[in-house]
Chains A and B, each alone.
Chain A
């Protein structure tokens, strides 16, 4: 129930507050009723037909950097 997929906004209809989002090559209609300031090209989390949140690219890059940092410790462990 709580699963949500990252999807990219590819079209917005301001009149109905709906958007078309792309997950892989699948296009879905999503409501923008729960988010503000969504622009074309943004990634949002889509849950039961609604965009829940915008995804923050800078924060995603920081998290990936954290994985790599922990990975360095892991590599050092392998050598010992």
Chain B
């Protein structure tokens, strides 16, 4: 068992497609939101959309951390690297995200700022150890999957008294975003959710129960492989047909109801809720993001450096905000494929390997 090829078998995919075709009620439309960009890409890369009946529609959700990060926070990071002579460490996904004035971290690096791509928070710590005379800032983004590794690095920096290391924290929370989508003044019509894979390995399936109970939306935690997506869709369709609203777990090989308690304890130790945080597309959401607790203030880049909040606007004509809410599809954007391509992105959804526009561009252009 390698846990990859077994979940991509073509014959089983065809059989699951037939089972779905047999299960759907031809008289109704099924609107399933896949919260994660990882699911959006699996759906397009493996042609899952084409194996679904016409009345099963995937609504692409905001689960792409690079996409939902507001432009002002990228501008902050570029200023930090330019003005304060710091070494800015970032995950590669952020390098090409458009900032104000057609800038990006990649362009700032080309202009001389010391911006370094890292694979892991451990790499950022190593750079801090090797450059004791320089300030090293880790540009932390991501949902609950990516937050525990940042917490580990902060604890380690404290233990090692690594005084030149700090974190520019932009970690955000999945349940808060789901609630914002459901509570929106003009909510997008969604029948059910494909729940996150790897976020759920950390937080467990329990935090979604409120959405099944209070909002009457079925949720199935789904793995990222194509057969996982198909099986989870089938489970959602069955729930909708039978009038059930439950949290079910298709990804039981990695997700439990409680999640990873060790990772949760680390997050609770290091971080606390921000009163509010801005999301591209979803606006200001209360209690939707994390900041360092006062006892770790020495490692908080926003306290160590002068970083005033920056209000920035998105590129004119870019439909990223509506696409992230599920209100529009990438093909509704006039810039897609003309002004906006992965080589010359106008919006974040075209940059990220989890963005919906990037999925359409990479795999969806030839679809009829």
Interface residues of A (CB under 8 A from B): 1-6, 31, 33-36, 43, 45, 47-50, 52-53, 55-57, 59-64, 66-68, 70-75, 77-78
Contact = CB atoms under 8 A, between A and B. Distances in A.
Q: Tell me whether chain B's interface is mostly helix, strand or loop, or mixed.
A: helix
Contact of A71 (B3, B15, B145, B251): B15
Contacts of B266: 33-34
Nearest to B22: A77
A35 B15 contact: no
B66 interface: yes
Contacts of B66: 1
29 contacts: A1-B141, A2-B143, A2-B197, A2-B354, A3-B38, A3-B354, A4-B145, A6-B4, A34-B148, A34-B149, A43-B3, A47-B149, A47-B198, A48-B119, A48-B121, A49-B119, A49-B120, A50-B152, A52-B201, A66-B231, A68-B12, A70-B19, A71-B16, A71-B19, A72-B15, A74-B15, A74-B17, A74-B21, A74-B22
B66, B223, B263 interface centre (most CB from chain A within 10 Å): B263
B262 A47 contact: no
Given A34-B260, A52-B198, A77-B22, A1 B1 contact: no
Contacts of B262: 34-36
A31 B21 contact: no
Contact of B198 (A3, A43, A49, A61): A3
Contacts of A2: 36-38, 63, 65, 142-143, 145-146, 196-199, 354
Given A61-B1, A77-B21, 11 more contacts: A2-B38, A2-B65, A2-B145, A35-B260, A45-B254, A48-B121, A49-B149, A52-B148, A63-B223, A67-B16, A75-B15
Contacts of A48: 91, 119-121, 146, 149
Given A70-B15, A74-B18, A1 B197 contact: no
A31 to B, nearest CB: 6
Given A3-B224, A68-B12, A78 B121 contact: no
B231 A33 contact: no
B23, B36, B196, B254 interface centre (most CB from chain A within 10 Å): B254
A47 B231 contact: no
Contact of B145 (A6, A47, A56, A72): A47
Contact of A70 (B119, B198, B224, B234): B234
Contacts of A56: 252-254
A4 B93 CA distance: 15
A5, A59, A74 interface centre (most CB from chain B within 10 Å): A74
